[in-house]
């Protein structure tokens, strides 16, 4: 058996469906945005960290001007501060996709960063994973990082012309795709990545030696320790006669892309919160208008025995119903939105989602915000509206007997 006062609340809600729908939708939009962002943030952070851990990321990378060999790599590996080290060669070339019958006018030369790994089958640091096609890269052929495929506007099986730093032009077939999470995603970086066999280096005019040293500091190293190890390795390299034009330190356990990802999610989160604030303003406006419209009803209720807290309870329950209905819409939609956003961001940041679990705290946060924001937003207009006495409300004495409008809340 429902109490009569709740009939009034329900009838007021149902009696003005347009107002109810507008408020519910405005709250739901904000909640949806917040839920989607919070869930995506949790999912993407977890999944990116998981994916990143599988490649065994380097804690330091040195680039050298001169080539070095396995002996130097071994000597670094033997350093007590270093857990493991590997050498690679990377260099920039220009490329264009060979187009049948189009001649040299077909396409402009574009840049391609090429990596050569001595043993693709036994990579231990910054591991590259095959995605499709040939593996490891066949001699004189090229594998492309999967996220770079759209950038080079070619397909697996196409042939590209490579112009080496020595101005030689070679034809190389794209024979497969790989996934290299240690590099910035090509669409973000703007440079596509290609991978060749170490034996292909001399064929395209590159020396058969490393110019990149990737190494991992011992377990437990923090950022300072990682930097210290980079400096030690750098000293060692320079003492061996190598010139180091560039060195990079990665904070152990931290995913470099995570900062960018979090920045984007933060921006989206701010938009979500702004949307929620807008809905709060709409609630303030609507409840103020509702109470102004119902001021006589408030007076009548007080006259027939309602205490202010009972009437306040009615309006707060009305606002809570707005919140609950908005939650019923926003939570499932937020989950769907989080799934879509996570997939999109994972694809943009070039990593795979292995699981999709909406964290319970994201749901709890939505529920808390969904109930608290409407209630808090409506408190001022409700308190202000209910301060009016029964006599004032019913206008039996004239609405203004000299008191209303003098209080702090009235002046808001």
Partner 1 sequence: MFISPLKSPAPAHIAQDGRRDEEGVPLIELRQVVKKYQGAAGVVLALRGVDLRVKVGEFVAIVGKSGSGKSTLVNMITGIDRPTAGEIWVGGTAVHTLGEGQGAAWRGRHVAIVFQSFQLLPTLSVLQNVMLPMDFADRYPVREQRDRAMHLLEQVEIAEHAHKLPSAVSGGQQQRVAIARALANDPPLLVADEPTGNLDSSTARSVFRVFEDLVDQGKTIVMVTHDKDLAQRVERAVTLADGEIVDDRA
Closest CB 299 distance from partner 1, rounded Å: 8
Of the candidates 124, 153, 307, 357, which one interacts with partner 1 according to CB under 8 A?
307
Neighbours of 175 (CB within 10 A): 19
Report the site for partner 1 in 10-39 (rule: CB under 8 A): 11-12, 15
Q: Return the residue of 34, 93, 181, 301 that touches partner 1, per CB under 8 A.
A: 301
Which CB, 80 or 305, lies closer to partner 1?
305
Q: Is 303 in the site for partner 1 (CB under 8 A)?
A: yes
Q: Rounded to an integer, what is the distance from CA 235 to the centroid of its chain? A: 37
Which of 231, 270, 396, 410 touches partner 1 by CB under 8 A?
A: 396
User: Residue 240 or residue 389: which is nearer to partner 1 going by CB?
Assistant: 389
Choose the stretch contacting partner 1; rule: CB under 8 A; options: 81-89, 92-100, 151-159, 303-311: 303-311
Q: Is residue 405 within the footprint of partner 1 (CB under 8 A)?
A: no
By the rule CB under 8 A, 318 interacts with partner 1: no
Question: Among 304, 355, 360, 411, which residue interacts with partner 1 (rule: CB under 8 A)?
Answer: 304
Query: By C-beta, is 75 or 389 nearer to partner 1?
Result: 389
Q: Distance between CA 351 and CA 366 in Å, rounded?
A: 27
Among 1, 104, 108, 355, interactor with partner 1 by CB under 8 A: 1
CB of 269 to partner 1, least distance (A): 39
Integer-rounded Cα radius of gyration of the chain: 32
Q: 52: how many CB neighbours lie within 10 A of its CB?
A: 19
Q: Does 296 bind partner 1 (CB under 8 A)?
A: yes
In the list 101, 360, 402, 405, the residue contacting partner 1 (rule: CB under 8 A) is: 402
The yes or no reply on residue 397 touching partner 1 (CB under 8 A) is yes
Count of C-beta atoms within a 10 Å radius of residue 241:
10
Min dist CB 253 to partner 1, Å, is 59
Q: Give helix 308-348 / helix 17-54 axis angle, nearest 10°.
A: 40
d(CA 98, CA 241): 41
* Binding window for partner 1 (CB under 8 A); candidates: 50-58, 107-115, 200-208, 299-307: 299-307
* List 398, 405, 408, 411, residue binding partner 1 (CB under 8 A): 398
390 belongs to the binding site for partner 1 (CB under 8 A): yes
Q: Which stretch binds partner 1 (CB under 8 A): 115-123, 149-157, 259-267, 302-310?
A: 302-310
Backbone φ and ψ for 309, nearest 5 degrees, come out as -70, -30
Verify binding: residue 309, partner 1, rule CB under 8 A. yes
Cis peptide before 52 (omega within 30 of 0): no
Cβ proximity to partner 1, 361 vs 400, nearer residue: 400
Query: What CA–CA distance (Å, rounded) separates 283 from 297?
Result: 20
Of 50, 61, 48, residue with least CA distance to 257: 48
Segment interacting with partner 1 (CB under 8 A) among 58-66, 209-217, 281-289, 392-400: 392-400
Q: Quick one: 348 or 383, whose CB is closer to partner 1?
A: 383
Residue 298 CB, nearest approach to partner 1 (Å) = 10
Task: Mark 200-231 as b/e (b = at least 16 C-beta within 10 Å).
Answer: bbeebebeebbbbbbbbbbeebeeebbbbbbe
Q: Which is nearer to partner 1, 42 or 291 (CB)?
A: 291
Q: Which positions touch partner 1 (CB under 8 A)?
A: 1, 3-5, 7-8, 11-12, 15, 296-297, 300-310, 389-391, 394, 396-398, 400-403
């Amino acid at each position: 058996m429902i109490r009569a006062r709740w009939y009034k609340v329900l009838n007021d809600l149902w009696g003005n469906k347009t107002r109810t729908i507008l408020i519910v939708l405005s709250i739901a939009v904000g909640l949806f945005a917040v839920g989607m962002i919070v869930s995506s943030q949790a999912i993407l952070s977890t999944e990116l960290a998981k994916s990143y851990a599988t490649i065994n990321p380097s804690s330091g990378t040195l680039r050298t001007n001169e080539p070095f060999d396995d002996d130097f790599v071994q000597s670094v590996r033997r350093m007590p501060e270093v857990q493991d080290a590997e050498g690679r060669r990377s260099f920039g070339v220009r490329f264009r996709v060979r187009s049948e019958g189009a001649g040299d006018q077909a396409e402009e030369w574009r840049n391609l960063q090429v990596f050569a790994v001595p043993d693709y089958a036994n990579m231990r640091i910054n591991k590259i994973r095959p995605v499709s096609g040939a593996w490891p890269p066949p001699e004189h052929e090229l594998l492309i990082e999967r996220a770079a495929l759209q950038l080079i506007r070619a397909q697996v099986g196409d042939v590209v012309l490579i112009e080496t730093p020595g101005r030689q032009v070679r034809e190389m077939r794209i024979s497969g795709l790989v996934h290299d999470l240690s590099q910035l995603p090509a669409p973000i970086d703007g440079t596509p990545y290609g991978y060749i066999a170490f034996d292909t280096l001399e064929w395209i005019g590159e020396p058969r030696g490393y110019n990149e040293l990737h190494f991992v500091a011992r377990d437990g190293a923090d950022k300072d320790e990682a930097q210290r190890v980079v400096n030690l390795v750098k000293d060692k390299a320079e003492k061996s006669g190598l010139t180091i034009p560039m060195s990079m330190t990665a904070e152990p356990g931290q995913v470099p892309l995570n900062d960018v990802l979090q920045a984007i999610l933060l921006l989206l989160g701010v938009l979500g919160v702004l949307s929620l604030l807008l809905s709060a303003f709409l609630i303030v406006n609507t409840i103020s208008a509702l109470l102004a419209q119902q001021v006589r009803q408030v007076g009548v209720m007080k006259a027939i025995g309602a205490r202010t807290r009972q009437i306040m309870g009615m309006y707060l329950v009305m606002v809570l119903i707005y919140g609950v209905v908005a939650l019923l819409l926003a939570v499932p939609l937020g989950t769907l939105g989080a799934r879509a956003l996570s997939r999109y961001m994972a694809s943009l940041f070039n990593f795979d989602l292995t699981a999709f679990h909406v964290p319970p705290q994201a749901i709890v946060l939505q529920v808390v915000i969904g109930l608290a924001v409407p209630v808090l937003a409506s408190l001022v207009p409700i308190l202000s509206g209910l301060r009016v006495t029964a006599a004032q409300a019913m206008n039996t004495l004239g609405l203004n007997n000299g008191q209303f409008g003098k209080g702090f809340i009235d002046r808001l």
